Structure 1
Amino acid sequence: MDGLKKVVEDYKELVRNVTGREFPQWPREQLDMAIRAVFDSWNTERARIYRRRERIPHDLGTAVNVCTMVFGNMGEDSGTGVAFTRDPATGHTGHYGDYLVNAQGEDVVAGIRNTMSLDDMASVHPKPFKQLEQNLRLLETHYRDLCDVEFTVERGKLWMLQTRVGKRTAPAAFRIASELVDEQLITMDEALSRVTGEQLVQLMFPQLDPDAERTLLTKGMAASPGAAVGKVVFDSPTAVEWAQRGEKVLLVRRETNPDDLSGMIASEGVLTARGGKTSHAAVVARGMGRTCVCGAEELAIDAKAKTVTVGEHTINEGDMLSIDGATGEVFLGELSVVSSPVMTYLDDGLEAGIKGQDDETVLLVKAVDRLLEHADDVRRLGVRTNADTAEDSKHARELGAEGIGLCRTEHMFLGDRRELIERVILAADDDEKQAALDALLPLQRDDFVEMLEAMDGLPVTVRLLDPPLHEFLPDLNELSVKIAVAEATGEEVSEHDRTLLAAVQRQHESNPMLGLRGVRLGLTVKGLFALQVRALAEAMAIRKAAGGDPRPEVMVPLVGSINELDLIRDEAQQIIAEVGQDKGFDLSMPIGTMIELPRAALTSERIAGSADFFSFGTNDLTQTTWGFSRDDVESSFFTHYMDKGVFTVSPFETLDQTGVGALVKLGVEGGRRGNPKIHLGICGEHGGDPASIHFFHHAGLDYVSCSPFRIPVARLEAGRAAVESEDGTA
């Protein structure tokens, strides 16, 4: 008791020194100040960082619950703990948690003392433990989900303080959802709503190579799974600074606290010397999908000297460590990583994913397979891929792509082929230009043949050349300097360089992203779009002759007027008919356009009269709606906009539903009025974003298209959108 009194006096002195006033003695004043402190915490820096990460509006607000206290620090017959109704790290069934004898709740969650398990609690406080076990089962059955419970034992009596749906790792989310179905607590639709695409992404990340040579440094608690490899840092500001310059870092701390949130976000993983699986580091890392190892007691951390010592090994700041959040192991140096079992399953099938794996991993992979298959069964949205090569096309198909929603043909003109585009631009007359186009034809045709073969029987949407021609030419400044230096030093300047400079100057635009590109390029540079359509038609004929089922589609970019589309469509149909007659096939392919300008969305009803399909190019639609260039604004003022709450998330990551989304809805409604049979999709990067996919489902699109890696995410989220839709349609 004397020790407790001394602690109270020390705290009072601390308050007096920091605040300049005595600690308040009136209970109501203490309560009011405590409530105000909670409200004021809403706008702290770490709170704003957390909300930005979790995409929580800054104006949502918070609340305060007031309740009486019980005390777990009343002696050896008292204690406090945190329990989960099943393992939040793996999803393993059975109670799980931390307990401390003669302690208050903060002692458990702060991670400043190493805890005992609930099984140990059974031996020291058997009666309260038995009651706790019964309550945990009752809570999970009632809420039909993993529950996070805080409790206190005061002089032998159990008090249940609060419960909430528990945070869990991605593996636990899938496994728990699947097993709750088997326990007949939830339906498959409910199980699908309990997992997210972002959690699936975490399961697709690589893991430490089990066959790599390694030196085990120490072992802690497996708090949040995954592999994390990075340079050791000992404080959050350093973690943020190094991460911003492109370094992969590992945050190493005795224990973390709320002020470390920014450093945890910046790091690949978190390693602590103290704390259990319900400590701050573990809970926060699980919530954000960071790899975490806690309670590695052998770590002797000297934050001031920026070293950590284990036995004979001393690690300095900047040295590499590797941690395994699934086993709790910490290894010296930089270990190689391999595909995760879930990624192996997605690439090669269920049997490959579970082959040679332990029971826990087998259950996880089977749970992912079960929920993905259900998502495929219920989703209305199709899922295509953005791919420009046969290799990407094949990989995307393995991952479940139902076609190609965007083939960027400009990517086929890079490398050695850039010289041929230069010849088109530098051509002195039509004959020279046609010769350059003729040289490109077989190269592009062969590319299309390979892609149509990889996607045989599925649609392949080919976007005609979109970027301005100057992107295929040398940089104006660099070329000008090169020639100026040569002239100043008396070196001979080649006629080619002079001609090239004149062409670059002729093609130069102050704002090329709003200049001569897309359909304007096709209408201005004679023969360019014709070359691409002819190559595609010939590739289609070649695949038909080989017994294939090619389904190409022509997409005209950056259309703002129906007249632009009509001109390109008429030319394309004529070329397709000519190739078909020449090759002896009845060739036909849908011809549509990208909706990526506000005017196109506003006049979609008219444009749909000449289009077989629309594909919303939400990257450019976002740029033209907001009036800013992505490359410029993201590196200049986006950070300020995020800090000031103008954006909670970048509109290039998640669709701006209020502004850009309104144009998408107008485009959908107008498109269907103008052409009831029109097919509607989206091929911007938002096609792989979970929140955006839900919007596209409700907006009435027919499919989304995204990068190959995001296809499983899109499949899952399209299924979730169907089961969570207000009208219940799938």
Structure 2
Amino acid sequence: VFGNTGNDSGSGVSFTRDPATGEKILYGEFLLNAQGEDVVAGVRTPEPVLRLQVEMPEVYRQLQDVRHTLESHFHDMQDFEFTVEQGRLFMLQTRNGKRTGFAAVRIAVEMVKEKLISADDAIRRIPADSLSQLLAPVFDASARKTTQVIARGLPAGPGAASGKIYFSANEAEAAAQRGEKVLLVRVETSPEDIRGMLAAEGILTARGGVSSHAALVARQMGKVCVCGASELQIDYSTNTLHVRGQNFRKGDFLSIDGTTGEIFPGEVKTSPSDVVRVLIDKDLTPAESPIYRVFAQLMQWADQRRTMDVRANADQPDQVGHAVAFGAQGVGLCRTEHMFFEGDRIDHVREMILAENADERGKALAKLLPAQRSDFAGIFKALKGLPATIRFLDPPLHEFIPHDEASQRDLAEKLGISVDRVARRVKELHEFNPMLGHRGCRLGIVYPEISEMQARAVFEAAAEVQAAGIKVRPEIMIPLVGFPKELELQIEVVHQVAARVQKERNVKLSYLVGTMIEIPRACVVADEIAKSAQFFSFGTNDLTQTTLGMSRDDAGSFLPRYQEEEIVRQNPFAVLDQGGVGKLMETAVKLGRATRKDIKLGICGEHGGEPDSVKFCHQLGLAYVSCSPFRLPIARLAAAQAALKN
């Protein structure tokens, strides 16, 4: 057939629904007096297919009939090509149409209502990861067209963000307090940057992978993040960023797309997510948002079908509130060290680290106790009876103290000690491989007073909230256990403190004590560890590092080539390595249940929000997965898909 035989002929490409929004309209483009290749070649600008109502009204009516016929037959949105020859319509080909995440949800939900598909079909066909598009802010389409990409990194926290560049967490926080929109730009982030990250619209780093500190914390906070943008040359001494011949100074605007990893110069206008506005910001009602209503319907169907619980990784009461709004059934990981950077708490932490004996450490920890107790109470109240897995201190102590001379002088002056003492302690804490050094349960064994303080904070908070009539379900998690005796020693501390608090407060508290399974030895001796542990939670971030012998922060230099050579098919820090790490998990599950049949099993690494990994956890028979609050809808849908597959 020929569409180039005159103005009563033409060719076009169309969708049976809008692939961007999911709206039930004929959507596409056509050219009069043209062949199909002319439509896509870009030589002439096509017209919207709706113009056919004017140019060829009978053809347009036939296309509407065809649209209905195609969807009735294929039960999905179709992308089809057509040609009109001298007023006669010819259909050339059709296929299932590609669509955005929002369109996928809207089309599926509306097709259920139209009785074209079942709710089960709707759950199966929506890529779980695509739900991130419904939660993330996006760049305004017209504004995006007027700017150019200047660099690319790894998409680590979905959404769009524009802000003024600040290179330090303190300056970012101060600027945000002045009302500025801030973009925190770092070579890489550390726990000291938490407050700046919290204040920022988005986070951009030159180093680090999708499981780096920046990426993990950004996803937990729901922040836009691009990491590992290796082209960026950041100079802290001059507060400048150089990339592809362009220089940016502190205070200049930069924009990042955490969904694609793209970086743009200047300020690019963004639009917020309706789902976040309804659930978190609460400045929009469900009745005012069709987007939210289709999202809520899909989540209802998913929750009715999944058999695994979905928890959240959250460290503060406000994060827990967000998590519950997104459907969390508890907290699967509360990283207590993230609480240390609020207000002046870091000074007490540093005082504890610099202490020269147990008495001095005890005095510093006593100053931290009220703050930790208050945070735990806030978390328990926000959970309203849902369980909370609280991990005791995990990072090595050197992460909490300053390493530059000026900051060490400030700290010495604040604590009333000599600079030499600070510098000496910093030197003493230096480790060649801190990830495998003095951290996790090893801290609690050498300094049991740290575990005692954290246990007291948990139990006093639990007693306080329980006295207010709110059910409390704390689950204390001891990190980095590889030897059964390590866990036994820490459990003894926890039980002793629990007994004292219950006696002091004249209260009975119900709690569990378990461990994070994050090193290979723990997996192969899980039957011995389960004699003491009431639950296992797989910390797959570190379990992946220790099993593969790869640093998540440094693997970006060779993983792309590994994927090209098919050594690994996917980034193992983003998608669980089922053939290696997964087999260790299977071993731990089998051994753990052999010793303790009712042991509670979960996962709290970021893999808990990745669809394929969630489905693997379902196959293992885990009780729950836990992930960042803003990935909860993805985990809920993936868990439902896993249940339907089985």
Q: TM-score, normalised by structure 2?
A: 0.77
Q: Is the alpha carbon distance of 1:505 and 1:207 closer, same or farther for their aligned partners in structure 2, counting shifts above 3 Å?
A: closer
Aligned equivalent of 1:241, options 132, 151, 172: 151
Q: Is the alpha carbon distance of 1:694 and 1:346 closer, same or farther for their aligned partners in structure 2, counting shifts above 3 Å?
A: farther
Q: Is the alpha carbon distance of 1:505 and 1:157 closer, same or farther for their aligned partners in structure 2, counting shifts above 3 Å?
A: same
Aligned equivalent of 1:366, options 293, 298, 319: 293
Q: Is the alpha carbon distance of 1:495 and 1:128 closer, same or farther for their aligned partners in structure 2, counting shifts above 3 Å?
A: closer
Aligned equivalent of 1:507, options 415, 425, 429: 429
* Structure 1 residue 534 corresponds to structure 2 residue 444: no
Offset of 1:646 from its aligned partner?
3.8
Offset of 1:654 from its aligned partner?
1.8
* Structure 1 residue 650 corresponds to structure 2 residue 583: no
* Structure 1 residue 198 corresponds to structure 2 residue 126: no
* Structure 1 residue 671 corresponds to structure 2 residue 597: no
User: 2: distance between equivalents of 1:496 and 1:321?
Assistant: 43
Q: Is the alpha carbon distance of 1:118 and 1:544 closer, same or farther for their aligned partners in structure 2, counting shifts above 3 Å?
A: closer
Offset of 1:195 from its aligned partner?
2.1
Offset of 1:533 from its aligned partner?
0.8
Q: Is the alpha carbon distance of 1:249 and 1:399 closer, same or farther for their aligned partners in structure 2, counting shifts above 3 Å?
A: closer
Q: Is the alpha carbon distance of 1:557 and 1:542 closer, same or farther for their aligned partners in structure 2, counting shifts above 3 Å?
A: same
Q: Size of the alignment, in residue pairs?
A: 541
Offset of 1:539 from its aligned partner?
1.2
Offset of 1:580 from its aligned partner?
0.7
Alignment of 1:551-566 (within 5 A): 551-566=473-488
Give the secondary-structure state (helix, strand or coil) at the position aligned to 1:91. Answer: coil
User: 2: distance between equivalents of 1:244 and 1:368?
Assistant: 27
Q: Is the alpha carbon distance of 1:498 and 1:171 closer, same or farther for their aligned partners in structure 2, counting shifts above 3 Å?
A: same
Residue by residue over 1:248-268, the C-alpha shift from the partner in whole angstroms, topping out at 9 and shown as x without a partner, is 899xxxxxxxxxxxxxxxxx9
Offset of 1:536 from its aligned partner?
0.9
* Structure 1 residue 393 corresponds to structure 2 residue 316: no
Give the secondary-structure state (helix, strand or coil) at the position aligned to 1:444. Answer: helix
1:722 matched residue in structure 2: 643
Question: Contact between 2:161 and 2:270, CA under 8 Å: does it hold in 1?
Answer: no
Question: Contact between 1:459 and 1:553, CA under 8 Å: does it hold in 2?
Answer: yes
* Structure 1 residue 577 corresponds to structure 2 residue 508: no
Q: Is the alpha carbon distance of 1:229 and 1:147 closer, same or farther for their aligned partners in structure 2, counting shifts above 3 Å?
A: closer
Aligned equivalent of 1:188, options 87, 112, 119: 119
User: 2: distance between equivalents of 1:126 and 1:540?
Assistant: 71
Residue by residue over 1:550-595, the C-alpha shift from the partner in whole angstroms, topping out at 9 and shown as x without a partner, is 1111000011121211111122112211211121112231001001
Question: Contact between 1:232 and 1:321, CA under 8 Å: does it hold in 2?
Answer: no
Offset of 1:117 from its aligned partner?
3.8
User: 2: distance between equivalents of 1:426 and 1:586?
Assistant: 36
Residue by residue over 1:161-188, the C-alpha shift from the partner in whole angstroms, topping out at 9 and shown as x without a partner, is 2211011223322221122112211111
* Structure 1 residue 549 corresponds to structure 2 residue 471: yes
Offset of 1:132 from its aligned partner?
4.2
Q: Is the alpha carbon distance of 1:701 and 1:349 closer, same or farther for their aligned partners in structure 2, counting shifts above 3 Å?
A: farther
Alignment of 1:252-651 (within 5 A): 334=267, 337=270, 339-347=272-280, 352-355=285-288, 362-414=289-341, 416-475=344-403, 478-479=404-405, 496-634=418-556, 636-651=557-572
Question: Contact between 1:344 and 1:353, CA under 8 Å: does it hold in 2?
Answer: no
Give the secondary-structure state (helix, strand or coil) at the position aligned to 2:492. Answer: helix
Residue by residue over 1:452-471, the C-alpha shift from the partner in whole angstroms, topping out at 9 and shown as x without a partner, is 11112011111010011111
Question: What is the identity, as a one-letter code, of the residue corresponding to 1:514?
Answer: L
Question: Contact between 2:520 and 2:543, CA under 8 Å: does it hold in 1?
Answer: yes
User: 1: distance between equivalents of 2:119 and 2:448?
Assistant: 56
Look at both structures and tell me which one has the larger radius of gyration over its CA atoms.
1
Give the secondary-structure state (helix, strand or coil) at the position aligned to 1:532. Answer: helix
Question: What is the identity, as a one-letter code, of the residue corresponding to 2:132?
Answer: V
Question: What is the identity, as a one-letter code, of the residue corresponding to 2:276?
Answer: M
Alignment of 1:214-233 (within 5 A): 229=144, 232-233=147-148
User: 1: distance between equivalents of 2:3 and 2:64?
Assistant: 18
**What is the percentage of aligned positions where both structures have the same residue?**
46
Question: Contact between 2:481 and 2:516, CA under 8 Å: does it hold in 1?
Answer: yes
Give the secondary-structure state (helix, strand or coil) at the position aligned to 1:232. Answer: coil
User: 1: distance between equivalents of 2:522 and 2:70?
Assistant: 54
Q: TM-score, normalised by structure 1?
A: 0.68
User: 2: distance between equivalents of 1:624 and 1:700?
Assistant: 24
Question: What is the identity, as a one-letter code, of the residue corresponding to 1:341?
Answer: D
Offset of 1:644 from its aligned partner?
4.4
Residue by residue over 1:103-131, the C-alpha shift from the partner in whole angstroms, topping out at 9 and shown as x without a partner, is 12121123332223444435555665555
Alignment of 1:59-70 (within 5 A): 70=1
Give the secondary-structure state (helix, strand or coil) at the position aligned to 1:610. Answer: coil
Question: Contact between 1:530 and 1:575, CA under 8 Å: does it hold in 2?
Answer: yes
Residue by residue over 1:635-669, the C-alpha shift from the partner in whole angstroms, topping out at 9 and shown as x without a partner, is x3334434544444322222222222222222222
Question: Contact between 1:596 and 1:616, CA under 8 Å: does it hold in 2?
Answer: yes
Q: How big is the alpha-carbon RMSD for the aligned residues of Structure 1 and Structure 2?
A: 3.3
Give the secondary-structure state (helix, strand or coil) at the position aligned to 2:131. Answer: helix
Q: Is the alpha carbon distance of 1:245 and 1:145 closer, same or farther for their aligned partners in structure 2, counting shifts above 3 Å?
A: closer
Question: What is the identity, as a one-letter code, of the residue corresponding to 1:419?
Answer: D
Unaligned runs of 5+ in 2: 163-201, 203-251, 258-265, 410-415
- Between 377-386 and 417-426, report the one with greater CA deviation: 417-426
Offset of 1:100 from its aligned partner?
1.7
Question: Contact between 1:445 and 1:536, CA under 8 Å: does it hold in 2?
Answer: yes
Alignment of 1:61-100 (within 5 A): 70-100=1-31
Alignment of 1:15-34 (within 5 A): none
Question: Contact between 1:232 and 1:319, CA under 8 Å: does it hold in 2?
Answer: no
Question: What is the identity, as a one-letter code, of the residue corresponding to 1:717?
Answer: A
User: 1: distance between equivalents of 2:121 and 2:155?
Assistant: 42
User: 2: distance between equivalents of 1:386 and 1:402?
Assistant: 11
Give the secondary-structure state (helix, strand or coil) at the position aligned to 1:153. Answer: strand
Question: Contact between 2:547 and 2:580, CA under 8 Å: does it hold in 1?
Answer: yes
Question: What is the identity, as a one-letter code, of the residue corresponding to 1:108?
Answer: V
User: 2: distance between equivalents of 1:84 and 1:640?
Assistant: 37
Residue by residue over 1:272-326, the C-alpha shift from the partner in whole angstroms, topping out at 9 and shown as x without a partner, is xxxxxxxxxxxxxxxxxxxxxxxxxxxxxxxxxxxxxxxxxxxxxx999999xxx
- Between 87-96 and 448-457, report the one with greater CA deviation: 87-96
Offset of 1:334 from its aligned partner?
4.5
Question: Contact between 2:537 and 2:604, CA under 8 Å: does it hold in 1?
Answer: yes
Question: What is the identity, as a one-letter code, of the residue corresponding to 2:275?
Answer: V
Give the secondary-structure state (helix, strand or coil) at the position aligned to 1:86. Answer: coil
- Between 428-437 and 378-387, report the one with greater CA deviation: 428-437
User: 2: distance between equivalents of 1:76 and 1:516?
Assistant: 78
- Between 153-162 and 535-544, report the one with greater CA deviation: 153-162
User: 2: distance between equivalents of 1:420 and 1:320?
Assistant: 36
User: 2: distance between equivalents of 1:605 and 1:507?
Assistant: 34
Give the secondary-structure state (helix, strand or coil) at the position aligned to 2:147. Answer: strand
User: 2: distance between equivalents of 1:577 and 1:102?
Assistant: 86
Question: What is the identity, as a one-letter code, of the residue corresponding to 1:668?
Answer: V
Residue by residue over 1:574-630, the C-alpha shift from the partner in whole angstroms, topping out at 9 and shown as x without a partner, is 221121112111223100100111111222222222111111111101111111211
